[in-house]
Amino acid sequence: MKTIFYTLSILLLVSCQKYEQPPLLSLSGEYKIDKLTYENNQTGESVVLYPGETLINYAEIDVLDTINVGFTEISMDYSTIYFNPVDNLGGTKKWMTQCFYTTFGQRNVNDFGYLKFDYGGTTRVFKIIDDGVESLVLRTTGQYSGTNSSIKEDITYFLTRIGP
C-alpha cells in the first residue's frame, strides 16, 4: 500500500505543469528616452546613443525624427500615446501630438506583443521588448524608400518612467 501511495504521489508531482499567464502590460506613464540603439541593416552600422547625444533620422519624417537622448519625452495612458510636450506656466505639460494605439500579439510570458498606432497616414509598429516596473523597451523595424535608395533599420528605445 505504501509503494502505491509513493508511486501515485511521485507521478502526480512529475506530471504537474506550471500555468503561466501572459504578462499584464503597464504602459501608462510619462517616459524619457535614456538610451537608444540604431542599426542600419544594409550598411551594418550600429550605434548606441546615450544622454546628451542626438539621433536625426532622415529616413522617417514624423514625431520621432529628431531624438535628443536624455531629453525626449513621451507619455502614454491606456489608449493614447503623446509626443512633443510643451511646458505651461503652471508647471504642467501640454502634449502637442497624440495618437490612439492598440496592443496585440501577447501570447505568453516571454512575448509582450506589439503597440500599433497611425501617424501622418502611415502605421507605426513598436515591438514591446520589456515592460519593467519603471522602464519600458520598444523596438521598431522599418524599410524606408528615399529618392536614391532604400534603408532598412532597427531602432530600440530604452525608456525610463519619470511620471505618473
Per-residue model confidence as pLDDT tens digits over 138-151:
998 776 555 445 66
For residue 80, the tally of other CB atoms under 10 A from its CB is: 14
**The pLDDT of residue 101:** 93
Per-domain boundaries in the chain: 27-163
pTM comes to 0.78
3-state secondary structure (DSSP) of residue 17: coil
Task: Give the three-class secondary structure for 29.
Answer: strand
Non-local (6+) Cβ contacts of 164 within 8 A are 29, 30
3-state secondary structure 93-159: EEEEEEEEEEEECCCECCECCEEEEEECCEEEEEEEEEECCCEEEEEEEEEEECCCCEEEEEEEEEE
C-alpha cell at 25: 502590460
What topology is assigned to 27-163 in CATH? Answer: Lipocalin (2.40.128)
At 91 the pLDDT is 76
Q: What's the pLDDT at 66? A: 82
pLDDT score for 60: 56
pLDDT digit string (tens) for the chain, length 164 residues: 778 777 767 766 665 566 666 667 888 999 999 999 988 777 778 889 999 998 876 655 566 778 889 999 999 998 999 988 888 777 788 898 899 999 988 877 778 889 998 887 778 889 999 988 899 999 987 765 554 456 677 889 999 999 88
